[in-house]
Chain A
């Protein structure tokens, strides 16, 4: 009965969403605030209903209820409990339910935390959110229903894709979805502003925190996906320009532009039209990403959904929302009054520069991702646009952007002093170049591009931190700590996030110093890898709960002796006869030794790919720092202006001057 209640509640959520999508708009256009105020309640109710439905599906998974087709296809009674949980969203239907749940979560959160928004803006925003929800709930119920039943429950389920049996993947999709779907609320804000034809001051403040929240989740989601690919797929790469990865990178790029735009709008009420356009583009790209991954138009490791009917359904949703919002934008954007003016050389100017470069880079990724699909659809030719394309387009576009980040940080709002900013950075640039040149000399040279990359990264880190140093030591060093505590959190947030970019650039540039050995080894054989010696001791076999694995035992030595025992392995899952590679890694500092096993052949020979990857972990530490910066910014007290009205009206305790 619980399963069927979960099914019914999902239907009820669709019906509520339909009314939530229509009645408030009707009210807002007729200026009837009573009808409009239905929206926040409906939004909360909708979240409760979808959450109940999700709980019912989870219940079916935990109890191994194989009378539910979805559970039967994706679970197994002997599966460890954590994979029964993650099995809920480890498949197409369940992950779409999670998508809708997060959509409803954002709707409810806006309903609860944005009480001081004018009623009509809040109402229409939530109505647009409900339109998205209606479309996806309909898709869920009519094209990929997770609650389809089997009258005679089978005795046993069919398991889960073994590649997906990984704790990392249990968290990765929810995070990515939080990011994707989080941008929906910004989209809804933008659509509401267009429908009502105005951008409020309070509204301008609301966009940034929601953008920031979505952006943090997306940043972490992408970083986690990249890390997962690094250790699970056994190729040792961190980014493959795979369409599924690009699908998440595109909204991240425009989302980053949007985030910075929203800051300008919040501070100066300028760039309103830009912000709205970017909000539409970002969510459109999120929808596109969902379409690419969910429709099965791509065939890649990630895309485990294949069904043309579903693809068509999502395509219709995609066209309706993207087309609709762009039409609305074309019709209404001119009505938006401009905000504060600014000179080309100013903080705003630098942010516009950032927007342009991020958007163009996103366009390059867009073309590289969709062109092969288009070509295949038109004449059936299957081509692949690989890393070289992106390395020649998107990557060079990012370099001027990186150079300008520290400069922009130093410019004042409205009208900046370029010379003053450059003067300070000049020292940093010179110091960095000297340090890198000295380092290169000590190492006996290295790839020029990689050295330049490391220099760029260091420049970014120091440039970001210099802001803090300058502010805290503005007039002598006597009050450094007092000043340090007076700096708003947003400034720290900016410094940390931008330093994160630098850290990531260093990590990526350092991959040029990576050492790769592809060898076939016999027990007892030793190879040299970077500063280490690697010896194969022998083979070992192991039987796991649902797989059999063959491992190769290695010991890793430096001058002092054995420092680690490493056992990369190949697993074969009984259920699906699909071998997976389990890599073995040894971490030292931010660097890693990475072993992936290939075939074993007669005489216990082992094919091995061994890597020494200096500073590889910085690639993921960077995004984590960016997200941390985002969190810090989200906690800044300026946002508390968005707190409920009552608190704002009562006299606020002022700190003693």
Chain B
């Protein structure tokens, strides 16, 4: 209500300001009068300039003559301006007044109602933190944060705030909180998975090296725990091993009882099947199954052969940034650091001038540096 009263006041103020000269009428200074005043001012100034020695007397006189001519022309012009305009002008003024009197309120409210949201209140941060309906989120969070600042070793506090952060989209804060929980009360499959899950959220779904390690440790502690296995399957997909990822997901789904968790995994499997044809082209379908069926040593040789083939092809003929990344990742997974570095260098040369690709390659280099040396089996 207050809003609409203020809107009305604003409209009234606008109309009053704009229409004032029409209502009061009257005439301003005559044009000729104005021109004479200007001429006088200009004359004074020219005289002053002459006195200062900036212009000669001839120059001054010439300039004055020019000004006088202009004044004369104007006065002739003004005289020819008819005097019979006044009769029409009253009607015209009434029309203009009416037009604006109706137009300003009608147009402004009509446009505003189309695009505005008059019922939405302001929601500044301060009000969000004190509003009763948000009590459970904002205020509680603030209190716990203050508490934790004083008692940095209180595990309970971190356990409470971490999921709240995650929901609020403060992923890095969530990851930090979960990390504190793990440090303070030790590793359990659940805690490790929560930490890793927040890391995945932080990376927009990309399973980073740190997240993967945490999931792997969780699986080591509890080989049947579904959540880390699920993410590790997705990690396989992100590494390009679609067939392996799908097999893992099917296995997880069959291990799970009916329920939301299983539905989640099945949804993922359906996505795989829907995207099946467009998925990356490294071991898949028959080739992948054939490789999977081989004994350990031969399997490794087969994979190595495929990666080498990819390397040769990319080195000779170039390829997309996606292909190069897959090559580097494969080298890393196979613990061939030198070859991975060589591939990275080749990719950098291939993408000189392509800033987006170079940024991606920098990220790969970063990953390579942070990745710990895998133990040779």
Contacts and interface: CB of A to CB of B under 8 A. Distances in A.
Q: Does A associate with B in a complex? A: yes
B52 interface: yes
Given A4-B3, A30-B92, A41-B21, A67 B111 contact: no
A384 B212 CA distance: 44
Contacts of B10: 5, 8-9, 12
A396 interface: no
| Size category, A interface | 35 or more
Contact of B28 (A11, A37, A67): A37
A158 to B, nearest CB: 9
B52 A153 contact: no
A15 B108 contact: yes
B115 to A, nearest CB: 6
Contacts of A392: none
A269 B115 CA distance: 49
A155 B137 contact: yes
B104 A60 contact: no
B136 to A, nearest CB: 13
Interface stretch (A139-147, A241-249, A532-540, A555-563): A139-147
Contacts of B27: 33-34
30 contacts: A4-B116, A8-B10, A8-B116, A9-B10, A11-B108, A15-B103, A16-B18, A19-B103, A23-B99, A32-B93, A34-B22, A35-B22, A41-B17, A42-B17, A45-B18, A60-B124, A63-B126, A64-B125, A116-B34, A116-B37, A118-B34, A154-B169, A155-B169, A202-B34, A202-B35, A269-B66, A340-B66, A641-B42, A652-B44, A654-B44
Contacts, number: 195
A45 B18 CA distance: 8
A201 B40 CA distance: 12
Interface string B238-277: 0000000000000000000000000000000000000000
Contact of B93 (A35, A77, A153, A579): A35
The majority secondary structure among interface residues of chain A is helix
B290 interface: no
Contacts of A147: 116
Contact of B96 (A23, A119, A602): A23
B34 A31 contact: no
Interface stretch (B81-89, B224-232, B297-305, B318-326): B81-89
A274 interface: no
A118 B31 contact: yes
B29 interface: yes
Contact of B118 (A2, A4, A141): A4
Contacts of A424: none
Interface of A: 1-5, 7-9, 11-12, 14-16, 18-20, 23, 26-27, 30-35, 37-38, 41-42, 44-45, 49, 60, 63-67, 77, 116, 118-119, 141-142, 145, 147, 149, 151, 153-156, 200-202, 268-269, 340, 413-414, 486, 488, 574, 579, 599, 602, 638, 641, 645, 648-649, 652, 654-655, 657
A202 B71 CA distance: 11
A392 to B, nearest CB: 23
A4 B112 CA distance: 9
Contact of A67 (B3, B71, B118, B122): B122
Nearest to A42: B18
A310 to B, nearest CB: 16
Given A23-B96, A153-B128, A641-B45, A11 B112 contact: yes
B317 interface: no
B111 A15 contact: yes
Contacts of B34: 116, 118, 202, 645
Contacts of A32: 85, 89, 92-93
A16 B20 CA distance: 14
A472 B138 CA distance: 72
Given A38-B21, A116-B38, 5 more contacts: A23-B96, A37-B28, A77-B125, A202-B35, A488-B49
Contacts of B128: 153, 155
B111 A486 contact: no
A66 B123 contact: yes
Contacts of B111: 11, 14-15, 141
B47 to A, nearest CB: 9
Contact of A1 (B2, B44, B52, B108): B2
Contacts of A579: 362
Nearest to B56: A412
A67 B123 contact: yes
A129 to B, nearest CB: 15
Given A11-B108, A32-B85, A63-B125, A201 B52 contact: no
B15 to A, nearest CB: 10
Contacts of A649: 37, 40
Interface string B305-346: 000000000000000000000000000000000000000000
* Pairs A-B, 5 closest by C-beta atoms: A63-B124, A64-B125, A67-B123, A153-B123, A155-B168
B124 A141 contact: no
Contacts of B41: 641, 648
A15 B107 contact: yes
Interface of B: 2-3, 6-7, 10-11, 14, 17-22, 25-29, 31, 34-35, 37-42, 44-45, 48-49, 51-54, 59, 62, 66-67, 70-71, 74, 81, 85, 88-89, 92-93, 96, 99-100, 103-104, 107-108, 111-112, 115-118, 120-126, 128, 137, 168-170, 172, 362, 369
Contacts of B70: 201, 269
Contacts of A118: 31, 34-35
Contacts of B6: 1, 5
A649 B33 CA distance: 10
Contacts of A340: 66
B17 A45 contact: yes
Contact of B38 (A60, A269, A641, A654): A641
Contacts of B52: 486, 488
A44 B20 CA distance: 13
Contacts of A151: 117, 120
Contacts of A2: 122
B108 A4 contact: no
Given A7-B112, A141-B115, A641-B41, A65 B122 contact: yes
A340 B65 CA distance: 11
B51 A34 contact: no
A34 B103 contact: no
Contacts of B123: 65-67, 153
A31 B93 CA distance: 12
Given A8-B10, A37-B21, A648-B41, A156 B28 contact: no
Contacts of A149: 117, 120
A11 B116 contact: yes
A474 B126 CA distance: 70
Given A12-B10, A33-B28, A60 B122 contact: yes
B45 A638 contact: yes
Contacts of A64: 124-125
A1 B66 CA distance: 59
B169 A19 contact: no
A488 B89 contact: no
B356 to A, nearest CB: 11
Nearest to A31: B85
B215 to A, nearest CB: 22
A124 B20 CA distance: 19
Centre residue among B10, B26, B29, B41 by max chain A CB count within 10 A: B41
